Chain A
Amino acid sequence: EVQLVESGGGLVKPGGSLRLSCAASGFTFSTYSMNWVRQAPGKGLEWVSSISSSSNYIYYADSVKGRFTISRDNAKNSLYLQLNSLRAEETAVYYCARGGSNLSMWGQGTLVTVSS
């Protein structure tokens, strides 16, 4: 079955860190660009970061640049997002999504709650 499964979410204090993971299966992970997208409670979708298939090209939303780091391990079919210096307003469901010009597959998401 073709799927993406996120993990690593949880409760963290403001200023804290968290590492999200996304396990891919059922397709050739190493040939696809991958992305993280988040949705805060009651808000819309917000693109966070993208990484090309061989990690040559990496992009971040201005709001997370310098604090979040995207990476991947093609041998493990896994995508990661390191979240540092987290802020309360970054409480959201974080989705990993496959694709370059369009996001053809999404995971179910993992909830990150930033609260003291």
Chain B
Amino acid sequence: QSALTQPASVSGSPGQSITISCTGTSSDVGGYNYVSWYQHHPGKAPKLMIYEVSNRPSGVSNRFSGSKSGNTASLTISGLQAEDEADYYCSSYTSSSTPYVFGTGTKVTVL
């Protein structure tokens, strides 16, 4: 099972909006509404930000939103803040022999 494809890096200024893409296939992203997004600050535990494409867990800022079109899912961060600087990973359920696949990861930089 190949990793989902994400851009290596995305940057934006404070207050701006950025979008991170996550491209898979019809066997994973396109076939199921089980796409999740995780925020990972180095040295800390990853944190679930979005589940089932567009749902936010309790406590996650509404500046984070998710969507999906075809085989590509997206995470949008609006009103970018310094604390949003981190690595972001998408993941999806997959119909292959292994139930999970992660994306390649995107480093978000706040300029």
Contact = CB atoms under 8 A, between A and B. Distances in A.
A46 B15 CA distance: 32
Contacts of A27: none
Contact of B89 (A45, A62, A105, A109): A45
B46 A106 contact: yes
Interface of A: 35, 37, 44-47, 50, 59-62, 95, 97, 99, 101-109
A50 B105 contact: no
Interface residues of B, number: 27
A39 to B, nearest CB: 8
Interface stretch (B19-27, B71-79, B93-101): B93-101
Interface of B: 1, 3, 34, 36, 38, 40, 44-48, 51-52, 57, 87, 89, 91, 93, 97-105
Contacts of B45: 95, 106-109
B98 A61 contact: yes
Residue with the highest number of chain A CB atoms closer than 10 Å, among B87, B93, B99: B99
Contact of B98 (A60, A101, A104, A107): A60
Contacts of A62: 1, 97-98
